[in-house]
Amino acid sequence: MSEQHPRHDSSTIGRDGEDAAALFLKAQGYVIFERNCRLSSGEIDIVAQDGGCLVVVEVKTRRGSQFGSPFEAVDTRKQRRLAAAALEYMAERNLDMPLRFDVAAVFAENNAFRVELLRNAFDCEGMAS
């Protein structure tokens, strides 16, 4: 799916990529609860619900491939931070539901965004320390 956007400069590319990812997720049936949720253990780009599952979505926006795959950027260290933030989010809100981690790779191409979604990108089992 591509979302048109007139301009991509370095100060707005990340925010615009997150906007494109949120639109994409909504089109896929996700219900967005929060964006850029700041917690003591870290920040979550998008918190959503997909069916009966709470979904933490990490958004990575790229203009090209010089920095590698956006999916590769969510390394073990980042996964641990996301897992801790997700567990903190759920505890603060007293949520008891399945938890899933998705990664949205957003590519800025030809004045538009292309979004690829990796559902269930990783498991937090034993990650939060």
Specify the pTM: 0.85
Q: Tell me: pLDDT of 4 over 60.
A: no
What domains does the chain contain, in order, with CATH numbers?
2-122 (3.40.1350.10)
Residues 59-115 pLDDT 10s: 998 886 666 677 777 888 999 999 999 999 999 999 999 999 999 999 988 888 999
Alpha-carbon distance 30 to 83, whole Å?
Answer: 20
More confident residue, 109 or 40: 40
Residues 107-126 pLDDT 10s: 988 888 999 999 999 987 65
Which has the closest alpha carbon to 74: 55, 101, 41?
101
